[in-house]
Amino acid sequence: MSSPLAKRSVGTSASVLLALLSVLGPTGRSAAADFGPSAPPGVDWESIAACESNGRWHTNTGNGYHGGLQIAPATWRAYGGKRYAPRADLASREQQIAVGERIAQDRGLTQWPVCGRRGAPSAKSPQATSTGGNTGNTTGKSTAGTTAPRSPSAPRTHHRRPTTPGATTDHTYVVQPGDCLSTIAQRTAVPGGTQALYDLNKPTLDEGPDHIYPGQRLRLHA
């Protein structure tokens, strides 16, 4: 699909065309980098919600996804949403965004493969918005076009441990009050994130990923 920037070329000379392509190239790379597995700060959740649900934070159309960010019940529970409400559409806008932030920290914006691009910081950068014109985007923002997939970002180098003495070892973690799987996975830097932590502990978490209790000992490695 041709770039909106290329469609609006103001001249026919080769020098002008090369200049336009030189601007377009870095923009495409920036969009791919921002959309990767590690979400950057400054995600525009309003733009994602506008794309996913027309900005209706309490919508439930019966399609299996709920709320402004269209979060499935299993994902909502796995990332601590049940502390707010049984489903995303029953929680406030701020609570849905809080769960969205936890999902983005664990998975990047891949949870929203199309609409996530509209909420990535690059969608609001001067490079992405300087082309102007109507590209058919109902939010009024221009898109960066189709980009090639990139390799996953480098693994986190930090390894934070709970402050409770004896709560964790190199291979296990004891659940503390207020914990949810996503926070445990992030705190202990489990390879594979929340889903991998749940898969390792299905026999212990036999009630589902949203039912964890203080005192349970979870495995951190296979």
Question: What confidence score (pLDDT) does residue 140 get?
Answer: 43
Domain spans in the chain, listed from the N-terminal domain onward: 45-129, 172-219
Question: What confidence score (pLDDT) does residue 168 get?
Answer: 60
Mean pLDDT lowest among 41-50, 67-76, 141-150:
141-150
**Alpha-carbon gap, residue 215 to 197, rounded angstroms:** 16
- Phi/psi of residue 174, nearest 5 degrees: -95, 125
**Alpha-carbon gap, residue 72 to 91, rounded angstroms:** 13
Question: What confidence score (pLDDT) does residue 99 get?
Answer: 94
Question: What confidence score (pLDDT) does residue 40 get?
Answer: 58
Question: What confidence score (pLDDT) does residue 124 get?
Answer: 54
Q: What sign does the dihedral 112-114-117-118 (CA atoms) show? A: negative
What is the biggest distance separating any 2 CA atoms in the chain, rounded to whole angstroms?
71
Question: What confidence score (pLDDT) does residue 164 get?
Answer: 44
Reported as a single tens digit per residue, the pLDDT across 111-136 is 898 898 888 876 554 444 444 444 44
Looking at CATH, the fold of the domain delimited by 172-219 is given as Membrane-bound Lytic Murein Transglycosylase D; Chain A (3.10.350)
pLDDT exceeds 70 at position 18: no
- Look up the pTM and report it: 0.46
**Options 1.10.3720.10, 2.60.120.10, 2.40.10.120, 1.10.530.10; CATH of 45-129:** 1.10.530.10
Question: What confidence score (pLDDT) does residue 26 get?
Answer: 40
Own/partner pairs, 85-88, CB within 8 angstroms, 24+ separation: 87/60
Reported as a single tens digit per residue, the pLDDT across 154-186 is 444 333 344 443 456 678 898 888 788 888 888
Averaged pLDDT, 7-16:
42
Question: What confidence score (pLDDT) does residue 167 get?
Answer: 55
